[in-house]
Structure 1
């Protein structure tokens, strides 16, 4: 996998906020509230035009063209979305008397084309599944060969849509004879779904310097972008260039970044947010020469567990010991927040049902309650996202350090596309499905690449159910978390055995690894070789930081006369966020407390 260059290029994303905005022409400062208003006007124009374009193109002919990848004259479609849209004649429309630069139309067509290209695979899969769907039984027949591969979870979701459509019943289907109803009907995505909702954002990467320009210095980033000065700009003078200044996050200081890319503009509760991307030079791993691999198993008890397998040349060995990630109690907090969010969602749905037939006065009261519930549910979701991100990067840092201490050059993780949480009950399955595994996998690939360790995706089937020595089914003599093979005399913790199997699959398939379209490394085949248990300890003992509870000392109150001073008073409860290390004092995201305009940029 390694080339002649000892380094390779890898893209990553980060976010920041502007703390100062000035007019690029006059140098006059612009308040952050005024900046948010101008960005909101830009996003409203882009969102409206993109919604209209998607609605107009929501037809089977659009997906047939994108699936073929060629125009009407046989030429291949360009990979850039706005160029492909121009070739196909997809032009966005705006309200009358509204002047919009052509570069903004590029952003609209690029975002719409990217959405349609993503849904093209779904359209092909729905057409394949609907042709094998039996309305009478509600089941999908197995594929006969040569059809599009569809994951089982995706197929179950499409089956639910087809069953719901059958129950609603079409007028033509209800009037047809029974023999005609039983015939499978080949449906398209436009038959069972409506056009997707558009997210309010502006991907400036599709534009050029006429719309946006980026300049990055040592620790500061300046973005010059053309924004409207009115909600409905009617001439070119209503579009002015604004220079935004933001601070780079501390973890980017001193890193070998080779390229900075134009950000995506979004708005959240705090104002303007810049979703940026950059290209970094990382050590190029030599995958075929890997001899030590770390297998990471996504555990139901915690986020993940790791174990080591070594290829000595005479065979594979492992001590069947591993490392279990300590989530510091955040998993319990995430489960509580998930339960709270689901409760708020159910309560709001029930109030909506009651408001449909309620009197006008009662309906207004119910709508006010629904608005409060939706606001609280959004706040719970934002808190869950923040904790998930912290949990993912902390897990990635711990596993990467564990791999470096073991001199491993490969980390094998389960393929999340083939991993489905099933058989643990509806509550636990839903909780496992909404965990931060995808974020943790992306964070692990990014963190490990910086230290020269490559993350390889391997099949997940049977990793914790088969013996690493003889590839036979394991027994559970002491419960779910225990695994034992009577013939090989191998066993131990279920998660550690799964980590050994995953590392074994990565080592055996390292010569057949392929690069995915997303830039990852994947092993699609499962091979077997016996793993011998070694008596020596091959894995490192990772240092586990002690998150000591910190209590702020306060002067003891002076007891009143006649009060018993020997009576004990309970100390205030500590939080899981209290750590030994003090919080960083440098502000990297831009303060929104003082929203006055700063000094001119000149």
Structure 2
């Protein structure tokens, strides 16, 4: 698809589980249950030390240092978290009598620094928004300069935190104090982190990885006791796992150390790898696919081509079929919100309840929290399945059309509003970000590049004359009386997005860790082409029922041999129901099975 002959490197992740564990020193096998126990001891040690370090550093001075990116001597902080923490003197504390290797301390500080560096942006935003917050009205004033701009979705979340803190201040028993400039430490408590171990922060002394013949062997140092007291209680273990079949034969350039995680099934390895994929040239692309996020389904796509006569499109789009998963996600979302409201109400009741009643309410709250966690896990699995299925469908659509660029709406500038509270909430919590990541990963494998383009006006303006569209058939329709073009609203938006990608391909901004971006919106008329430009989407065909004519009248005087088929066998035919004693003519007397000939005859005679 790329046509340049060059390759690029991309990283992707996958999960696998060990099927064998061996002691590295003695070569004796270790049971998987024992492996899970020893891995759990290390994860508890890491998570406890990480939580203690973050709680100790939960101060405004910590975020001031991370915001400036300089140490006490004015030197720039290293990008590696454990090196920056060592220079600043931020080391974790372990329980008395517990020994942890220095490489385990690297893992703890690297994970803690990643969390604190992520929250530094939120601290700066809270400080800027609190200065513009009015406690009387609960509103935010307009920013006075560009430096005070915060994304609207992010500002709404911070505004809710500020309103909640104002209510606590009004409560005389809360003990909260009023402040003009708030920090993240004043608004929220230290975050809770999951129990995991990112082995990539360590070196070969803690873990190293080898891959041979589709077998992944991880050699990692694990404790032999829940509270190891010395170096002798840390031993190397070879963990052997199989590489998933879909990775066999792929050009993997490098395998990275995994992240250890423990779930209800046991030890889970979250691995990463780097492979070579075809490199696409954005400036040479002449066909683009625009993907519009739809409130009714996950997305829709349309194609725009750049030819000698200018931009043209057939305005025939393609709409993604989520196979009912969107409705299921909406139901699970409503169920999770209901469980959250019920648990919050029980917490308010438990705050003033007697001790006996409080214990009962806390038990119910624990059950509700467990159900809500299970609902969230189910939503995550469905969102992942939906995202990768969507990415595969759009990639196949672009490949069949010969496109080299897929344009998606910039999610940072996209807000769902004007469709009601329920629809806005449903669209805002859809797996769009995960779908973009899945689409980027899938499209890169065939040499197609995914770029982000501005979303404003894509479904409201005509691709031909750039004038507002009318809605003759309601919200989902669009029509331009001047250009005589129109159709589905999402398909027209896809044409606009693809047009913006083709016109701005020479002004692409590349950011590390993100997709290429096109931040300018240019206009050029898109002519409607009668030629078929997009691939025909596959539609499920109904099974054809062969209807035969009426049976022929048998000739008189001829003895015909009738072949009667036997009744269809069933698993229930092996169980002979016992007739109840003393029951005559009741419903429990099972009648004899109806012959298959009568059913076939009645079907043929209809």
Q: TM-score, normalised by structure 1?
A: 0.88
> Hey, what does 1:58 align to over in structure 2?
58
Change in 2 beyond 3 A, CA 1:260/1:45: same
**Separation of aligned partners in 2, 1:44 and 1:115:** 18
Change in 2 beyond 3 A, CA 1:546/1:31: farther
Kindly indicate whether residue 223 of structure 2 is the aligned counterpart of residue 249 of structure 1: no
**Separation of aligned partners in 1, 2:352 and 2:131:** 40
Kindly indicate whether residue 560 of structure 2 is the aligned counterpart of residue 565 of structure 1: no
**Separation of aligned partners in 2, 1:261 and 1:433:** 34
CA contact (8 A) 1:213 1:225 kept: yes
Q: 2:329 aligns with which of 329, 334, 345?
A: 334
Q: 2:444 aligns with which of 416, 424, 449?
A: 449
> Hey, what does 2:552 align to over in structure 1?
none
Kindly indicate whether residue 550 of structure 2 is the aligned counterpart of residue 555 of structure 1: no
Q: 1:228 aligns with which of 223, 237, 262?
A: 223
> Hey, what does 2:99 align to over in structure 1?
99
Change in 2 beyond 3 A, CA 1:51/1:566: same
Deviates more, 1:339-348 or 1:233-242: 339-348
Give CA deviations for 1:31-59 in whole Å, capped at 9, x if unaligned: 12211111111111111111111112112
Deviates more, 1:48-57 or 1:274-283: 48-57
**Separation of aligned partners in 2, 1:452 and 1:313:** 24
Change in 2 beyond 3 A, CA 1:58/1:557: closer
> Hey, what does 1:27 align to over in structure 2?
27
CA contact (8 A) 1:293 1:409 kept: yes
Deviates more, 1:30-39 or 1:99-108: 30-39
**Separation of aligned partners in 1, 2:343 and 2:129:** 34
**Separation of aligned partners in 1, 2:149 and 2:365:** 42
CA contact (8 A) 1:223 1:243 kept: yes
**Separation of aligned partners in 1, 2:308 and 2:277:** 29
Change in 2 beyond 3 A, CA 1:372/1:546: farther
Question: The residue matched to 1:10 in structure 2 has which SS?
Answer: strand
Question: The residue matched to 2:470 in structure 1 has which SS?
Answer: coil
CA contact (8 A) 1:128 1:147 kept: no
CA contact (8 A) 2:415 2:428 kept: yes
Mapping 1:380-529, distance limit 5 Å: 380-529=375-524
Work out the number of aligned pairs and report it: 560
Question: The residue matched to 1:147 in structure 2 has which SS?
Answer: helix
**Separation of aligned partners in 1, 2:336 and 2:290:** 33
Kindly indicate whether residue 109 of structure 2 is the aligned counterpart of residue 109 of structure 1: yes
Question: The residue matched to 1:510 in structure 2 has which SS?
Answer: coil
Give CA deviations for 1:382-439 in whole Å, capped at 9, x if unaligned: 2222221111111111110110100000000011122122222222222212222111
Change in 2 beyond 3 A, CA 1:368/1:43: same
Higher relative contact order (CA 8 A, sep 6+): 1
Question: The residue matched to 1:522 in structure 2 has which SS?
Answer: coil
**Separation of aligned partners in 2, 1:89 and 1:520:** 36
CA contact (8 A) 1:7 1:282 kept: yes
Kindly indicate whether residue 149 of structure 2 is the aligned counterpart of residue 149 of structure 1: yes
**Separation of aligned partners in 2, 1:3 and 1:391:** 30
Change in 2 beyond 3 A, CA 1:561/1:188: closer
CA contact (8 A) 2:291 2:299 kept: yes
Mapping 1:258-407, distance limit 5 Å: 258-407=253-402
Question: The residue matched to 2:506 in structure 1 has which SS?
Answer: helix
**Separation of aligned partners in 1, 2:133 and 2:444:** 44
Kindly indicate whether residue 40 of structure 2 is the aligned counterpart of residue 40 of structure 1: yes
CA contact (8 A) 1:82 1:206 kept: yes
Change in 2 beyond 3 A, CA 1:500/1:340: same
Give, in angstroms, the shift of residue 350 of structure 1: 3.0
Change in 2 beyond 3 A, CA 1:374/1:135: closer
Question: The residue matched to 2:457 in structure 1 has which SS?
Answer: coil
Give, in angstroms, the shift of residue 554 of structure 1: 6.0
**Separation of aligned partners in 1, 2:160 and 2:525:** 42
Question: The residue matched to 2:10 in structure 1 has which SS?
Answer: strand
Give CA deviations for 1:352-399 in whole Å, capped at 9, x if unaligned: 333444444444443333333333322222222222111111111111
CA contact (8 A) 1:15 1:275 kept: yes
Deviates more, 1:393-402 or 1:328-337: 328-337
> Hey, what does 1:574 align to over in structure 2?
none
Give, in angstroms, the shift of residue 344 of structure 1: 2.6
Mapping 1:562-601, distance limit 5 Å: 562-563=591-592, 565=594
Give, in angstroms, the shift of residue 29 of structure 1: 1.5
Change in 2 beyond 3 A, CA 1:5/1:227: farther
CA contact (8 A) 1:124 1:148 kept: no
**Separation of aligned partners in 2, 1:372 and 1:165:** 28
Give, in angstroms, the shift of residue 520 of structure 1: 1.6
Change in 2 beyond 3 A, CA 1:161/1:217: same
5+ unaligned residues in a row in structure 2: which ranges?
Answer: 544-567, 577-588, 598-606
Give, in angstroms, the shift of residue 104 of structure 1: 0.4
Deviates more, 1:105-114 or 1:29-38: 29-38
> Hey, what does 2:565 align to over in structure 1?
none
> Hey, what does 1:205 align to over in structure 2?
200
**Separation of aligned partners in 1, 2:590 and 2:182:** 84
- Give the CA RMSD over aligned residues: 2.8
Change in 2 beyond 3 A, CA 1:381/1:248: same
Give, in angstroms, the shift of residue 138 of structure 1: 2.3
Bigger-Rg structure (1/2): 2
Give, in angstroms, the shift of residue 276 of structure 1: 0.7
